[in-house]
Structure 1
Amino acid sequence: MAHIVIGVMGPGSSATPAQVKAAYALGHAIASAGWVVLTGGRQVGVMEAACQGAKAAGGLTVGILPSANGADCSAAVDIPILTGLGDARNVVNVLSSQVVVACGLGPGTAAEIALALKAQRPVILMEMPPSAIALWQSLATGPLAIADTVAAAIEQIQQWLAP
């Protein structure tokens, strides 16, 4: 049986403490549900926190890294994919995920959300300002949800993945 891969996207060095806390809890909950956590793989911000949370729950993590050498890889990544693509790896992040959860917002995360919406991937927004939520809602033609809690995000993922 194929693994279900849930992408957790969010800011790196500009992530807020609230976003990092939410990403850790999200990674933990995703892994506890038996799903794989996929991030940008770097050792900073939402990427690091989501992978650490998943590892704390005994989960499997995949990191789609911008570098070709892996020097920027989080120790909490089980399967590093060394792309050498820089920010172009965002396409790989999105297309490798059955659901994308965006926790916070930065330029890279905005690109990932836009790519996910264009590819009709289900997207969940967390820890975002109302103005950003309004923008994504105006652009979405596919599944888009806003989650105020990790539990709400997991419930939405379960609904989308239900047969």
Structure 2
Amino acid sequence: MQALPLLGEFVIFRSGGHIFALNVGSVLKVVPAYRHSILPEAPATILGIVVYDGQIVPLLDSAALLRSGLRVAPGLESRFLVVRPNDRLLILCAEEVVGVRSIALGPYGQPEPIGAGMMRLQGLGHHDDDLIYIFDPEKLLLLHEARALDKAMQEHGA
């Protein structure tokens, strides 16, 4: 059997029954989850805000980024992935961080329909027998979400 081409090194994490990945170069740090504050009127993909390194940073729900309606709040074993895709610091909540792994390109099996969440993906990959949704760091926070987030933060003094 011929080896499948590798896409590179990725931080692999789980949330909401799915396995996700971010290119290792886009993850600044992984830290244990800690207290966050709810931000009323924030987009559905935002769990709230946290203070990280003296800054107020939005906390994104990685499961909700993929599929609207799916929501996973941080638990005792959760981890925060600190990323800076553009000029904005973001934190993704993961139920579990598996580690840094190489991801192979295809075959994928049949991914479940996820709708609008597909626009946030760079692609699909797999590790062992698991389908992995690879996030595009630049699309974690879409323009309309960033505007709604900024408005909510301004209105609530965050």
Shorter-chain TM range is under 0.3
Q: Which has the larger radius of gyration?
A: 2
**Greater share of strand residues, 1 or 2?**
2
**Greater share of helix residues, 1 or 2?**
1
Q: Which has the higher contact order (CA 8 A, sep 6+)?
A: 2
TM norm structure 1: 0.25
TM norm structure 2: 0.26
